[in-house]
Amino acid sequence: METGAWSYYADSPLLADVWAQTRSKPLMRLLARVMDLVAMAREVDQPRLDSASDEAGVGVSVVRTARGLLMHHVRLAEARVAEYVIVAPTEWNFHAEGAFTQGLKGLLEQDKTRLLQLAHIEVLSLDPCVAYEVEIHDA
């Protein structure tokens, strides 16, 4: 599932037009991030942080980032952190069924150098701040 800026502007006529012309997911992600920056600069965009607590000592927050939704869950016990869980956009983007896998699925490319380049572009379009390594194994 796409969880970054592209999903925030999924109903945009501009993005729909660019998608129809290019079918390029990396371009869509980049363009959506630019749209998100413009919205933030104009201060017309949606709230970036939501939080909730249904019981004392427990909190949940969801932060809308350029890479996707960042979720935190904390539980306190006796004034100490007893449990802290983070679900980062990276976990969605690079899940076995996530956007990275879906972006490369069905790709037909015989040139290994070009295939490696396409994989790098896909990674960087999803999550440019994560160290990674791409390996290509012949089928």
Report the pLDDT value the prediction gives residue 77, as an integer from 0 to 100: 93
> Contacts by 102-110 with C-beta closer than 8 Å and gap 24+?
103/25
Report the pLDDT value the prediction gives residue 117, as an integer from 0 to 100: 93
Report the pLDDT value the prediction gives residue 2, as an integer from 0 to 100: 81
Report the pLDDT value the prediction gives residue 107, as an integer from 0 to 100: 83
Q: Residue type for 97, please?
A: E
At residue 5's C-alpha, the angle toward residues 113 and 28, to 5°, is 45
DSSP H/E element including 39: helix 25-42
pLDDT digits (tens, 9 = 90+) for 74-111: 999 998 999 999 999 999 899 999 999 898 888 888 89
Report the pLDDT value the prediction gives residue 39, as an integer from 0 to 100: 86
- Residues of the chain with pLDDT below 70 are 45-46, 139
In this prediction the pTM is 0.78
DSSP code per residue over 45-59: SPPSEEEE-SSTTEE
